[in-house]
Each structure stands twice: as structure tokens, then as C-alpha cells.
């Protein structure tokens, strides 16, 4: 694959700024060589890197002000204090690429500056390298939206490194799995950090870090009063999967499982709102959740597996609608209160025996409704109007009165 690099700053579509006066194509690896290139067209290349080629200095960046899309196999930044892509667009762009891939002393790839939307299709890796502190592969700086379809991979060594940080009141939507960061040195590290009042929405599983270094490494963390919504399973390992020390909201629809080393979800604020669906699964002496305030959804089945004292065994507590032998509400007569603590109400409609034909089983008896001769004799013919029914035919049949009227009409 050929290399291509800018020899001066300028618009991407300007062939004069590129080596060989050739605009990069889909087969090119692009090295920015410490130049600033303004995107003014959709582009497809093999990779975009800040590493230098030849004797040029490493670094450089791409600035986006319009609705232009990027497609590349890999976008990687390896230059300290450098941001590879700055999005100033207030509408929507799409970047189809893996970001960083967690190799080397990598730096920030994308900053969403304003309220625009960035759609990313590809895996996103957190920063790697002990020289990095409190840096993110992707930063949402304002009220913008970042949509990721791909897995979010952990940050490497370094204090405070993340894959994605939501700085203010923006929204991060992720469809993919999230893995907690590696640990090394001292401090904390998260794969995703919600540091403002914004919202993190995850559709996928969240798996905690299993590193044995010195960092406390959560997969997702609330450091302000933002909201974390997860639809998927949350699993602890050496560290917890989701952590919050603020009054922010944690909402999980899916199984939450602790490890013997850590709670899966931790919320240490006394005023935080934490809502879970379960199942909740403890491990050893560790609870699945460590929260002051807990609410459970009432429209899903819940169970809680906990350890048994002085034993490795577990017992499982079920919500009333899951207790063995308790029927569902649709199988219990409407209005009947039942269940271990009278928490459930039946919803099955049972007709009265008087309205059920004689001998037909109903409830704990059989139907008693009878059809008597007078019922048929007194039935109004005009009400028997079904097509081709006996009622319709009888309503059109000649009677003595109708025949007499016909005869009379011919009498001179």
C-alpha cells in the first residue's frame, strides 16, 4: 500500500498540498506529517495516522466544518498533546473506522467541539501509555451526540485514560460491548467516563477490568450527575463494571453479576437513583449491587442469588411472579388476590355458568344455560339476518296474510 502525506496545510481536495500532487485514494495510508488538512469532501483511504513518514515531523490534524464522511480501516494518533480530528460541524458526519487499537503511547483521536453528531462505525480503543493522563480517544465537549456501532475496548496504562468521555450535557449512544480498562500506576481509569450532566446509553454487555495493577478501573463511571442507561448484562471481575460517586442515575435492564473481588455496580451517593431489572447475582461475600437507593422494575421478572452463611452454596430469591408453583395472572380469575404475600392479582375472565351452554365445563362447575321452545317461538324473525340463515329465509317466506293480500289485489 502506498503512503501519501501533505506537504502543506490546506483543503483535502487540493492536489497541490499532497505528495506527488495526488489526492489520497482508497489504497493509500495517509500520514499527516504535522500539517492541518481541512476536510471538504467525503474520503476513503486505508488509514490516517499522525506518525511521520520520511524526515517530516509527526503530528497534524484534520478539521471538519461540513457534512463530510471518512472511511478508513484505522485512524491512529501517536503524538502527545495532539488531537487528530476536530469536528466543528453542527450537523452530522460518519466515520467508518477502528480508532487507535490500543497500541503504543497513543493520544486523542476525535474531539466533537460543538453540538454536531458523529456516527462512528468501528471499535474504539482507550489510550495506552503511562505518559497519558486524563485523556480520551473520543471527547464529546458540548451538547453534541456521538453514536458508536462497535465494541469499546479498554484503556491501557496511565491515570484517567478513557476510550470515550462525555464532558458536558451531550449524549453518547453505544451499540456494542464495553470492557473495563487495564490498570497500572496509581489513580483511576475508565473505559467510558460521564463527567458532566449528559447521558450514556449502552445496548450491549458491560464487562469489568481484570487487571491486577494499581488503578481502580471501571468500565463506565459517573463523575457528575449524568445518567447511565444499560440494556445488557453487567459483570464484575477484579474491579466493578459501573461506578458512581454522585447523585447521577444508573439504570440497568439485564443481569448484574458480582465477582468474589468486587461489586458489579457501585453507587455511593445517598441521593442517587438506581433502577435495576435483575437478575442480581452475588458472589461469595460480594453483592451484585452496592447502592444506597435501589428500585426494581415491576414489569420484568426478578431473582436475586445470594450466598449461604459458612458455605459455598447459594440460594435464589424470586419475585412473586417467579416463585415455583405460583400461576401467572392470566390463569387466575380476574380480581383474585394471591401469591406468597398477596402481591399478585388475577386477570382471567371467567363467564358465569348461566351464560354457558348446559353441561359445558366452566370454572369449577358446568354451564346451566338452556334454550326453551318459547325462546325460539318468541325470537323476532327480523333479528335473524345472517346471510343464508334460516331466519333470513323465514323473513322472506309467504304467510296466509301475505297470500290473502295478493289475492285481494286481483279481485275486481
Average pLDDT for the chain: 84
Q: Around Cβ 381, how many Cβ atoms within 10 Å?
A: 14
The predicted pLDDT at position 326 comes to 75
State CA 286 to chain mean position distance. Answer: 26
Q: Is the confidence at residue 408, as pLDDT, over 90?
A: no
Nearest 5°: the CA angle 7, 10, 12 is: 90
Final residue before a domain boundary, out of 370, 385, 403: 370
Same domain, 238 and 343: no
The rounded distance, in Å, linking the Cα atoms of 166 and 18 is 35
pLDDT tens column, 383-394: 666 677 666 676
Q: 97, 124 in Cβ contact below 8 A?
A: no
pLDDT (0 to 100) of residue 89:
93
**What is the pLDDT confidence band of residue 45, given thresholds at 50, 70 and 90?**
very high
pLDDT of residue 125: 87
Q: Is the confidence at residue 187, as pLDDT, over 70? A: no
What nine digits make up the cell of 334?
Answer: 380476574
Of residues 302 and 180, more confidently modeled? 180
**Of the ranges 50-64, 151-165, 220-234, the best mean pLDDT one:** 220-234
Regarding whether 311 and 402 lie in a shared domain, the answer is: no
* pLDDT on residue 57: 85
pLDDT band at 110 (very low <50, low <70, confident <90, very high): very high
Distance (Å) of CA 391 to CA 34, 301, 370, 372, 380: 93, 52, 20, 17, 9
Query: C-alpha dihedral over 50, 52, 56, 60, to 10 degrees?
Result: 0
Residues near 380 by Cβ (< 8 Å), separated by ≥ 6?
Answer: none
pLDDT at 155 over 80: no
Per-residue pLDDT tens for 368-380?
877 666 666 666 6
Least confident residue range of 52-66, 152-166, 227-241 = 152-166
Cα 191 from Cα 218, distance rounded (Å): 7
Q: Are residue 313 and residue 412 in the same domain, yes or no? A: no
Tell whether 116 and 45 lie within a shared domain.
Answer: yes
Q: Alpha-carbon distance 60 to 205, whole Å?
A: 35
Rounded to the nearest angstrom, the gap between the alpha carbon of residue 217 and the centroid of all alpha carbons in its chain is: 21
* Averaged pLDDT, 19-45: 95
For residue 136, pLDDT over 90 is answered with: no
Same domain, 254 and 293: yes
Query: For residue 64, what pLDDT is reported?
Result: 97
Residues 6+ apart with CB under 8 A from 243: 190, 216, 218, 220, 221, 222, 265, 266, 267
What confidence score (pLDDT) does residue 178 get? 94
Residue 180's domain comprises: 3-319
Residue 356 per-residue DSSP state: S
Q: How many domains does the chain have?
A: 3
Q: Residue 398 CB: number of other CB atoms within 10 A?
A: 8
**Is the Cα torsion angle 288, 293, 299, 303 positive or negative in sign?**
positive
Q: Is there a single domain that holds both residue 324 and residue 276?
A: no
If you average pLDDT over residues 2-23, what whole number do you get?
94
Q: Same domain for 325 and 313?
A: no
CA distance 294 to 386: 59
Q: Does residue 358 share a domain with residue 213?
A: no
Segment 52-79 mean pLDDT: 89
The helix (H) or strand (E) run that includes residue 391 is: helix 390-395
- Indicate if 236 and 380 belong to the same structural domain: no
Claim to verify: residue 179 and residue 50 sit in the same structural domain: yes
Q: Is 50 exceeded by the pLDDT of residue 185? A: no
**Prediction pTM value:** 0.75
404 with 307, same domain: the answer is no
Q: Which of 20-34, 277-291, 387-401 has the lowest mean pLDDT?
A: 387-401
**Pairing relation of β-strands 361-362 and 365-366?**
antiparallel
Q: What is the DSSP letter of 373?
A: H
Please list the alpha-helical segments (H only) found in 121-218: none
Q: Is the domain of 159 the same as that of 245?
A: yes
Q: Alpha carbon of 160 to those of 85, 173, 235, 324: distances in Å? A: 21, 21, 21, 47
CA pair distance 144, 354, nearest whole angstrom: 65
Amino acid at each position: 500500500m502506498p503512503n501519501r502525506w501533505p506537504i502543506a496545510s490546506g483543503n483535502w481536495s487540493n492536489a497541490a498540498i499532497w505528495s506527488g500532487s495526488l489526492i489520497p485514494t482508497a489504497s493509500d495510508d495517509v500520514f499527516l506529517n504535522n500539517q492541518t488538512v481541512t476536510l471538504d469532501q467525503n474520503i476513503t483511504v486505508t488509514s490516517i495516522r499522525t506518525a511521520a513518514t520520511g524526515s517530516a515531523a509527526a503530528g497534524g490534524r484534520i478539521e471538519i466544518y461540513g457534512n463530510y464522511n471518512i472511511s478508513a480501516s484505522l485512524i491512529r494518533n501517536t503524538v502527545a498533546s495532539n488531537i487528530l480530528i476536530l469536528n466543528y460541524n453542527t450537523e452530522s458526519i460518519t466515520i467508518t473506522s477502528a480508532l487507535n487499537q490500543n497500541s503504543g503511547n497513543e493520544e486523542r483521536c476525535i474531539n466533537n467541539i460543538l453540538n454536531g453528531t458523529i456516527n462512528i462505525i468501528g471499535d474504539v480503543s482507550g489510550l495506552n501509555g503511562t505518559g497519558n493522563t486524563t485523556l480520551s480517544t473520543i471527547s464529546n465537549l458540548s451538547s453534541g451526540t456521538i453514536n458508536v456501532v462497535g465494541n469499546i475496548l479498554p484503556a491501557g496504562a496511565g491515570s484517567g485514560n478513557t476510550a470515550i468521555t462525555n464532558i458536558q450535557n451531550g449524549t453518547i449512544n453505544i451499540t456494542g460491548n464495553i470492557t473495563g480498562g487495564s490498570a497500572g500506576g496509581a489513580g483511576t481509569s475508565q473505559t467510558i467516563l460521564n463527567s458532566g450532566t449528559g447521558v450514556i446509553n449502552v445496548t450491549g454487555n458491560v464487562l469489568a477490568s481484570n487487571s491486577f495493577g494499581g488503578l481502580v478501573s471501571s468500565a463506565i463511571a459517573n463523575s457528575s450527575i449524568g445518567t447511565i442507561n444499560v440494556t445488557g448484562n453487567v459483570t464484575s471481575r477484579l474491579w466493578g463494571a459501573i461506578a458512581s460517586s454522585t447523585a447521577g442515575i444508573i439504570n440497568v435492564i439485564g443481569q448484574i453479576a458480582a465477582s468474589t473481588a468486587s461489586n458489579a455496580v457501585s453507587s455511593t451517593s445517598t441521593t442517587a437513583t438506581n433502577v435495576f431489572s435483575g437478575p442480581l447475582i452475588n458472589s461469595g461475600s460480594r453483592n451484585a449491587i452496592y447502592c444506597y437507593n435501589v428500585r426494581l422494575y415491576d414489569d420484568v421478572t426478578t431473582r436475586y442469588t445470594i450466598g449461604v452463611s459458612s458455605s459455598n452454596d447459594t440460594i435464589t430469591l424470586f419475585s412473586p411472579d417467579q416463585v415455583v408453583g405460583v400461576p401467572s395472572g392470566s390463569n387466575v380469575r380476574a380480581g383474585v388476590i394471591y401469591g406468597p404475600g398477596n402481591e399478585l392479582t388475577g386477570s382471567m375472565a371467567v363467564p358465569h355458568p348461566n351464560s354457558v351452554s348446559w353441561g359445558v365445563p366452566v370454572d369449577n362447575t358446568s354451564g346451566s344455560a338452556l334454550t326453551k321452545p318459547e325462546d325460539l317461538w318468541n325470537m323476532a324473525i327480523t333479528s335473524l339476518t345472517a346471510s343464508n340463515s334460516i331466519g333470513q329465509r323465514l323473513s322472506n317466506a309467504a304467510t296466509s296474510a301475505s297470500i290473502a293480500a295478493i289475492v285481494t289485489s286481483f279481485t275486481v
